[in-house]
Structure 1
Amino acid sequence: MGTFRIEGGHSLKGEINPQGAKNEALQILCAVLLTPEKVTIHNIPDILDVNKLIHLLKQLGVKIEKTGKGSYTFQSDELDLDYLTSEKFKQEGSGLRGSIMLVGPLLGRFGKGYIPRPGGDKIGRRRLDTHFEGFIKLGADFRYNKEERFYGVEAKNGLTGTYMLLEEASVTGTANIIMAAVFARGKTTIYNAACEPYLQQLCNMLIRMGASIKGVGSNLLEIEGVEELSGCTHTILPDMIEIGSWIGLAAMTKSEITIKNVSWDHLGLIPTNFRKLGINIEKRGDDIFIPAHKDGYEVQSFIDGSIMNISDAPWPGFTPDLLSIILVVATQARGSVLIHQKMFESRLFFVDKLIDMGAKIILCDPHRATVIGHDFQSQLKATTMVSPDIRAGISLLIAALSAKGTSIIHNIEQIDRGYENIDERLKAIGARIERIA
């Protein structure tokens, strides 16, 4: 179990470049299975979850060549489909939740797909029903081996397009169904589809490969099945969750930081919600400039004077992955804010660690927490803690960098799952952080 030692209470300064988007990369990498031709992908983040998926693709027989930093070519012309039912795959695939998106392209192209029950963050139950109900509606047969915790879908006579109304706007579920439906006979209509930027990126990549998809960017997609797809080149967007993390870091440490090449058009409500906490965010070309908030920042209130409420929602709502960052930043704001985590029932449980550091937080229930800001009148104090998941981990790291004294964070593999080389990148802008194990 890896560990960070952080000496907090120091201001940072400089430029930081966001990595490629983790959530987009997991979708795009699975899409290389849809064609036997070469697919080139740029801006792939060098993080644990993505590297695990690349390893799974290699074990499956995908020919992979690294052509530069973050750039790879993939060719899926000689796959070993027997690997999918092997004990090795059951062991390796279960450690990565993103591996579920291997099923859609394999089902679409080869008529069968298998996956062990995937792991991932301990942030509450995340159902896979949307994925498999979509496959069943396309004509696949589903089976689940409860003893071996193993899922399988097969379509011996191929898939047939249909109309489906998704019970939830699941991002990975929508991506998986799209990747299966591109080869289905006839037209597939998906209503209540997820429509976040990373899903739009997947659709646009598939269109360049020869797929017929209408309604990209909306919650109503129409897909006309095709016989085959060709290769293409794709560049992954910067990671909006990492961009939000750096905004929060700058505010909490009263630092002057420029976040480079953020792709403003794809940030949605992220700048708006940080501004609700009183954080000054300046748009400079395609960069974000955060000045040092020497006098702190003040939470806005609603027009009627009631307490500010920041909650998550499917896109174009505010991403749930940044609520943990918003909560930490609120601990030093002037004023109070209610954080409402609607989409995951266990994601706020890390606040006990912030309370140990001196934060004033009332955990109302598994979904809601009220934060009473210190206005920097009382600095958080250093402590020893364990990272429970990716987003709570980076939130605790931000808290430690702002706290007085030296903090220890264990289980930093959770942070490494989503943030590339984070200790060295933070050191480059003045952070005092050391990887000690």
Structure 2
Amino acid sequence: MASFKITGGRRLSGDIYPQGAKNEALQILCAVLLTSEPVTIHNIPDIRDVNQLIDLLADLGVGVERLSESSVRFQANGVQPEYLETEVFKRKAAALRGSVMLLGPMLGRFGKGSISRPGGDKIGRRRLDTHFLGFEKLGATFHYDDADGGFFRVEAAELHGAYMLLDEASVTGTANVVMAAVMAKGTTTIYNAACEPYLQQLCKMLNRMGARISGVGSNLLTIEGVDKLHGTEHTMLPDMIEIGSFIGLAAMTQSEITIRNCQVAELGIIPDVFRRLGIKLEIRGDDIYVPSQEKYRIETFMDGSSMTVADAPWPGFTPDLLSIVLVTAIQAQGTVLIHQKMFESRLFFVDKLIDMGAQIILCDPHRATVIGLNRESQLRGIRMTSPDIRAGVALLIAALSAKGTSIIDNIEQIDRGYQHIDKRLNAIGALIERV
């Protein structure tokens, strides 16, 4: 198990480039299974979760050709569906949350798919009902084997288009059902579909491959099934969670940072939420410039009541950035309530921030009130453990702003979602040692 040793209190300065989007990659990479023709993907992030998924595709029989550090050509002309039943696959899939995205394309093209109960962050229940209810609507049968930690199977002799109202606007659930439906017979209508930019990217890629998906960007998707999909080329968006993380980092460490190539039009309300914390931003084309700020003041609502930041389905605020907003508010002037509606264990990392000197009240598993320190006292370095990807980076931001030295253990969690984060931050003035 590796750790980060962080010397805090240093101001950073310079340009930083966000990686390709992790959450988009997990969908896009699985979509290559839908065709036997070559599919070339660009801007793939070099992170643990994505690399494990690429290895899993190779084990499944997909040809993988590295064109550069961030570009890969895939060709799924030798897929072996029986590999899904092996103990090796079960073990590897169980360690990777994104492995669930294999189900839709395998069911759509080969008529069957199976998966171990996926792993990933320990942030509370992450049910899969939306995926399987959608598959059943298309005519698939679902089986669950509770032995050895759980194993899911879906199969269908033929899929047929159907109308469905999703029980929740799940991004991965929508993506999985879309990938199963693109080659189903007839028309599929998905209402209450997720409409995040990453889901839009998937639909646009599938349309270039020959799918017929309309309503992209809305919560009502219509899919006319086709007999075959073809190869294509696709470039992934920059990671919006990294972009938000860098904005929060700049504010907490009083740093002057320019975040390059952000594709600002795809960020939704993310910049505005950070502005409501009092952080000054300048949009310069597709770059975001964050000046060094001695202080920043949290806004109130129009009636003078304290600000609340809550997650919501797109175009609401993404839940993956609530941990970053929470840590950024520690040194602000004012008070903010962080309301994490989706996951009941995601705020439990705040005890480490409290040990560092933050003023945070954990109201319940879903809500935390942050009382800003207004730079009147500095956080102090401690030893802590990263419980999940986003909390890990929130702790890293706190450590970089703190007085003294901090140790963060279990940084494999951070590596799952952030590409060479220590090297990239050290290049603009941080002092992070991997030990």
User: What secondary structure is seen at the aligned counterpart in 1 of 2:67?
Assistant: strand
Report the counterpart of residue 398 of structure 1 in structure 2. Answer: 397
**Cα-to-partner distance string for 1:316-373 (whole Å, 9 max, x where unaligned):** 0000000000000100000000100011111000000000000000000000000000
Q: Name the aligned partner's letter for residue 137 of structure 1.
A: K
1:203 and 1:74 mapped to 2: Cα distance?
Answer: 18
Q: 2:81, 2:110 within 8 Å by CA — same for their partners in 1?
A: no
Report the counterpart of residue 376 of structure 2 in structure 1. Answer: 377
Given the alignment of the two structures, is residue 81 of structure 1 paired with residue 81 of structure 2, yes or no? yes
1:199 and 1:162 mapped to 2: Cα distance?
Answer: 20
1:145 and 1:161 mapped to 2: Cα distance?
Answer: 27
Given the alignment of the two structures, is residue 260 of structure 1 paired with residue 231 of structure 2, yes or no? no
The structural deviation recorded for 1:232 is 0.1
User: What secondary structure is seen at the aligned counterpart in 1 of 2:147?
Assistant: coil
1:285 and 1:212 mapped to 2: Cα distance?
Answer: 33
1:285 and 1:139 mapped to 2: Cα distance?
Answer: 47
1:411 and 1:69 mapped to 2: Cα distance?
Answer: 26
The structural deviation recorded for 1:411 is 0.0
The structural deviation recorded for 1:109 is 0.3
Report the counterpart of residue 119 of structure 2 in structure 1. Answer: 119
Q: Name the aligned partner's letter for residue 361 of structure 1.
A: I
The ranges of structure 1 where at least 4 consecutive aligned residues each deviate by more than 2 angstroms after the TM superposition are none
Report the counterpart of residue 136 of structure 2 in structure 1. Answer: 136
2:118 and 2:104 mapped to 1: Cα distance?
Answer: 15
Give aligned-pair identity as a percent: 70
The structural deviation recorded for 1:224 is 0.3
Q: Name the aligned partner's letter for residue 360 of structure 2.
A: I
Report the counterpart of residue 412 of structure 1 in structure 2. Answer: 411
1:231 and 1:166 mapped to 2: Cα distance?
Answer: 29
2:103 and 2:300 mapped to 1: Cα distance?
Answer: 46
Report the counterpart of residue 365 of structure 1 in structure 2. Answer: 364
The structural deviation recorded for 1:259 is 0.1
Report the counterpart of residue 282 of structure 1 in structure 2. Answer: 282
| TM-score (ref. length: structure 2) | 0.99
User: What secondary structure is seen at the aligned counterpart in 2 of 1:30?
Assistant: helix
Q: How does 1:207-246 map to 2 (within 5 A)?
A: 207-246=207-246
2:313 and 2:351 mapped to 1: Cα distance?
Answer: 27
1:59 and 1:306 mapped to 2: Cα distance?
Answer: 55
1:72 and 1:309 mapped to 2: Cα distance?
Answer: 42
The structural deviation recorded for 1:69 is 1.9
The structural deviation recorded for 1:81 is 1.3
1:288 and 1:435 mapped to 2: Cα distance?
Answer: 28
Report the counterpart of residue 331 of structure 1 in structure 2. Answer: 330
Q: How does 1:17-32 map to 2 (within 5 A)?
A: 17-32=17-32
1:310 and 1:214 mapped to 2: Cα distance?
Answer: 32
Report the counterpart of residue 152 of structure 2 in structure 1. Answer: 151
**Cα-to-partner distance string for 1:223-270 (whole Å, 9 max, x where unaligned):** 000000000000000000000000000000000000000000100010
1:406 and 1:83 mapped to 2: Cα distance?
Answer: 47
1:328 and 1:178 mapped to 2: Cα distance?
Answer: 36
1:302 and 1:283 mapped to 2: Cα distance?
Answer: 24
1:103 and 1:302 mapped to 2: Cα distance?
Answer: 44
The structural deviation recorded for 1:80 is 1.4
Report the counterpart of residue 320 of structure 2 in structure 1. Answer: 321
1:324 and 1:66 mapped to 2: Cα distance?
Answer: 34
2:219 and 2:314 mapped to 1: Cα distance?
Answer: 10
Q: How does 1:125-204 map to 2 (within 5 A)?
A: 125-148=125-148, 149-156=150-157, 158-204=158-204
User: What secondary structure is seen at the aligned counterpart in 2 of 1:68?
Assistant: coil
Given the alignment of the two structures, is residue 14 of structure 1 paired with residue 14 of structure 2, yes or no? yes
The structural deviation recorded for 1:73 is 0.1
Q: How does 1:337-352 map to 2 (within 5 A)?
A: 337-352=336-351
| TM-score (ref. length: structure 1) | 0.99
1:30 and 1:78 mapped to 2: Cα distance?
Answer: 15
User: What secondary structure is seen at the aligned counterpart in 2 of 1:74?
Assistant: strand
1:110 and 1:45 mapped to 2: Cα distance?
Answer: 28
User: What secondary structure is seen at the aligned counterpart in 2 of 1:248?
Assistant: helix
User: What secondary structure is seen at the aligned counterpart in 2 of 1:169?
Assistant: coil
User: What secondary structure is seen at the aligned counterpart in 1 of 2:370?
Assistant: strand
Given the alignment of the two structures, is residue 427 of structure 1 paired with residue 426 of structure 2, yes or no? yes
Stretches of structure 1 lacking an aligned partner (at least 5 in a row)? none
Q: Name the aligned partner's letter for residue 234 of structure 2.
A: H
The structural deviation recorded for 1:194 is 0.2
The structural deviation recorded for 1:285 is 1.1
User: What secondary structure is seen at the aligned counterpart in 2 of 1:125?
Assistant: coil
Given the alignment of the two structures, is residue 40 of structure 1 paired with residue 54 of structure 2, yes or no? no
The structural deviation recorded for 1:82 is 1.3
2:349 and 2:187 mapped to 1: Cα distance?
Answer: 45
Q: 2:212, 2:225 within 8 Å by CA — same for their partners in 1?
A: yes
Q: Name the aligned partner's letter for residue 378 of structure 2.
A: Q
2:341 and 2:82 mapped to 1: Cα distance?
Answer: 40
**Cα-to-partner distance string for 1:146-194 (whole Å, 9 max, x where unaligned):** 11311000002x1000000000000000000000000110000000000
User: What secondary structure is seen at the aligned counterpart in 2 of 1:331?
Assistant: helix
The structural deviation recorded for 1:430 is 0.3
2:69 and 2:81 mapped to 1: Cα distance?
Answer: 29
1:181 and 1:344 mapped to 2: Cα distance?
Answer: 28
2:82 and 2:106 mapped to 1: Cα distance?
Answer: 12
Given the alignment of the two structures, is residue 51 of structure 1 paired with residue 51 of structure 2, yes or no? yes
Given the alignment of the two structures, is residue 100 of structure 1 paired with residue 61 of structure 2, yes or no? no
1:222 and 1:49 mapped to 2: Cα distance?
Answer: 31
2:125 and 2:53 mapped to 1: Cα distance?
Answer: 22
Stretches of structure 2 lacking an aligned partner (at least 5 in a row)? none
